[in-house]
């Protein structure tokens, strides 16, 4: 199935921004989306469909839901893997599954960019 040029650009930028999140930090789908001027679901869609090589190379586990917890819609085994990877970087979770000291661990992606993804780059 052919994807639009806009989708290809969004995908590339989600991957680039995710790769910039340092160890021991996290950000949210919404934070990336705000910076990119797109919908958080676009960010989640891209990260949920990484191929095996991309998944191995990219710190996808550092992107969580807006409430600083692992996405509730994620496959339980994958959610456990994400939690394990975050814990290995020093991020702890409270009894409700939220990241403890979230403000301390939060990675600011950047200010909103005025991008129209359908326009040529």
Dist CA 6 CA 115 (whole Å): 11
Separation of alpha carbons 86 and 59, rounded Å:
10
> How does pLDDT run across 97-118, given as a tens digit for each residue?
999 999 999 999 987 777 777 7
What CATH number is given for 5-105 in this structure?
A: 1.10.10.10
Could you say which DSSP state residue 120 is in?
Answer: -
- Structure confidence by residue, pLDDT tens digits, 70-85: 999 899 999 999 999 9
Report domain extents, the chain: 5-105
Ordered DSSP codes for 19-47: HTPPTT-BEEHHHHHHHHTS-HHHHHHHH
pTM, two decimals, is: 0.90
């Amino acid at each position: 199935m052919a994807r639009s040029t806009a989708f290809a650009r969004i995908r590339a930028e989600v991957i680039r921004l995710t790769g910039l999140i340092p160890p021991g930090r996290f950000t949210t789908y919404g934070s990336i989306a705000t910076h990119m001027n797109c919908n958080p679901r676009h960010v989640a869609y891209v990260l949920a469909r990484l191929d095996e090589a991309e998944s191995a190379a990219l710190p996808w586990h550092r992107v969580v839901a807006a409430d600083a917890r692992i996405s509730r819609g994620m496959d339980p085994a994958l959610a456990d893997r994400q939690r394990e990877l975050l814990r290995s970087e020093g991020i702890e979770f409270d009894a409700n599954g939220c990241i403890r000291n979230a403000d301390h661990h939060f990675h600011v992606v950047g200010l909103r960019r005025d991008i129209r993804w359908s326009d040529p780059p």
